[in-house]
Amino acid sequence: MIQNIDVLRNYPVHYPMNFSGKLTAKIVMKSDYKRADGTCALYLQVFLNKERKRFPCNISVTENDFDKVKQRIKKSNQLHHDYNLIIEKMLADINKIEVSYRLSNQVLTMDKLEKEYNNPSSRIDFIKFWENEMEQQKLVLKKGTYRQQYSSLTKLKAYKSHLYFHEITNDFLIKIVGHFKSTLQNDQSTISTFLKNFKKYLNIANKKGIITPLQTSEIKIKSFSGNRTFLNKEELQNLTAYYNDAYCLSSHKYILAKFLFSCFTGLRFYDVNNLTEDNFVGDVLVFTAEKTKKMQRITLNRSAMFFANPKYLLNENFTNEYVNRELKEICKFRGINKRVSFHVSRHTFATNFLVSGGRVEHLQKLLGHSNIRETMIYVHIVESITNMQVLKMDEILKL
């Protein structure tokens, strides 16, 4: 039976329940029909704008076990506790629907009430709304974008299983951001990505006439360059040594082939995952980028060619999430104390390309950036590295 259900327990003893003047609800027994065991079925009876609808409670008890005044199962029934929880849950669900429509200034009809009750609608629950919208956009969104937005939705669901539109307030946003920072230890980049996706689907809801206390214009997302973690020469040599080691786990070898190949080409995760032998023309890689849909041609250096072994590079298309988890374990095992994800390979390529004397305009083309300002971030990183190296000259005189 149902256990640990969150219910509203402060109902008045006498019913029907008056929700808004137009809607009333009560539990009734269909006593004109008795089953073979002498029990009668219970229904949740709702009146809305003089229209009646009965929802089955899927509970049958004898007339003596049902209190018509309190509309609850008497203690004489062995399952009275579980049955009453079901009844209270049903009444609570009706109440939530009515409150949500009223606070959102939406017109509630019996047809809508029935649909919302039998299948909690996305017009009440923002999480359900987000799920439905993502399903509709699944064929339109790029794979990486879809997975990113779905990841944000998963984070929201982990924090709160249901989020009614009238609950979306500034206080709620402050609390969930605080949860990400303090409890989950998320960095600003991760939080900003969540807020961007949250804001997108809230904006879609508002445009569809769903009113929320918090407006999208009130959600401010900080603009920042982010932490461009990259691997230096020694760390790349460390991972390559493990890749070449006879004791390297086969799953790690597949992952490292893709990761290290990207460290010397700058390819994104989904572009590496989509590669086939047809993309290789001698020492030139030709592919269409998943994100930009632009065709790119990259001349492969010897290091990239070393990891272009079809056995490892072109097989085992793991998910991005799995690869990121395994990369963390690999780096931990190899003593690399950095927060490494697959995207770090792209930062590694860009940074080491400039450190090796590459030109920023060439890097822009290799990375497929439409705006050179995106590429200039790596220039600033290299400049900071150079400045730190200049300070090492102090070791000459040891002043």
The proportion of the chain whose per-residue pLDDT surpasses 70, expressed as a percent, equals 89
Split at pLDDT 50, 70, 90, the class of 86 is: very high
Mean pLDDT value of segment 254-262: 96
Two structure tokens written together for 362: 């060439």
Split at pLDDT 50, 70, 90, the class of 272 is: very high
pTM: 0.58
pLDDT of 147 > 80? The answer is: yes
Region of poorest pLDDT, from 8-12, 38-42, 117-121, 291-295? 8-12
CA gap 87, 353 in Å, rounded: 66
Question: What pLDDT score was predicted for residue 8?
Answer: 40
- Domain definitions of the chain by residue range: 17-118, 126-218, 233-391
Instruction: Tell me the three state secondary structure of residue 209.
Output: coil
Q: What is the pLDDT of residues 168-207, one digit of tens each?
A: 999 999 999 999 999 998 888 889 999 999 999 999 999 8
User: Of residues 104 and 20, which shows the higher confidence score?
Assistant: 104
Contact present, 19 and 98 (Cβ < 8 Å):
yes
Question: What pLDDT score was predicted for residue 7?
Answer: 40
pLDDT of 262 > 50? The answer is: yes
- Rounded to whole angstroms, what are the CA distances from 240 to 96, 116, 233, 331, 342? 57, 56, 11, 12, 15
Query: Per CATH, which fold does 233-391 belong to?
Result: hpI Integrase; Chain A (1.10.443)
Question: What pLDDT score was predicted for residue 9?
Answer: 42
* Identity of residue 279: N
Q: Residues for the chain: how many in total? A: 399
Q: What is the pLDDT of residues 1-47, one digit of tens each?
A: 444 444 444 444 444 455 554 889 999 999 899 999 999 999 999 99
Q: What is the pLDDT of residues 348-382, one digit of tens each?
A: 999 999 888 888 888 888 888 888 888 888 887 77
pLDDT of 150 > 70? The answer is: yes
Whether the domain at 126-218 and the domain at 233-391 fall into the same CATH topology: no
What does pLDDT average to over the chain?
A: 87
Question: What pLDDT score was predicted for residue 399?
Answer: 56
So what CATH class is 126-218? Answer: mainly alpha
Alpha helix locations (H) across 164-301?
170-182, 188-207, 233-244, 250-263, 269-273
